[in-house]
Amino acid sequence: MTAAAVTLCFLLRTVDGEAQVLLGWKKTGFGTGKVVGIGGHVEAGETTAQAICREVMEESGITVLQGDLIPAGTVDFVFPARPDWDMATMVYLCRTFSGDARESEEIAPHWYPEKRLPEEQMWADAVHWLPAFLAGERADWRIVMNPDNETVASSTRTLRT
């Protein structure tokens, strides 16, 4: 089985000198009940950049232009106990966007301080790669989950040059 093509975008802003990132509480579908990045599946005929612009609008009401996306790297998620959950994910950051975050059927968005991510409410893998991307690291990650599909068995990264 081939891993699903997925994309995530982490919108970044600074308010009163504090760096913030937009995440969302997942209301439906994969990851329900967790705080996740904004994003989703790449549809047939779409590039990852086209897909993330669409997903950010659908999930948060914010407009992101392809030219403003900052490629951060990739994360391949491997679920040995549930291979149908495997995902090949392109991750973007974005500092330029328009509109205000609004709740959708799928996501309740919220701005979090980059230094105080809600780790206990996120997938366990996020602590491995998200802070690194937010700090400016560019890399390709491979996250293998344990049979419980919740905890991380291994996390490896290859830095981009």
Domain segments of the chain: what residues?
4-94+105-159
pTM here is 0.95
Output the pLDDT for position 1. Answer: 65
- What stretches of the chain adopt beta strand conformation (E)? 4-15, 18-26, 35-36, 38-41, 69-78, 87-94, 107-113, 139-145, 152-159
pLDDT in tens, 93-109: 999 999 999 999 999 99
Q: Report d(CA 71, CA 93) in Å as an integer.
A: 6
Q: Which amino acid is located at 33 in the chain?
A: G
Exposed/middle/buried for 91, CB within 10 Å: 0-12, 13-18, 19+? buried
pLDDT category of residue 161 using cuts at 50, 70 and 90: confident
pLDDT in tens, 69-82: 999 999 999 999 99
What is 4-94+105-159's CATH number?
3.90.79.10
Residues of the chain with pLDDT > 70, as a percent, come to 99
- Picking from 151, 50, 70, 58, the residue whose alpha carbon sits closest to that of residue 107 is 58
Q: What is the mean pLDDT of residues 33-56?
A: 97
User: pLDDT averaged over the chain?
Assistant: 96
Q: Report d(CA 134, CA 130) in Å as an integer.
A: 6
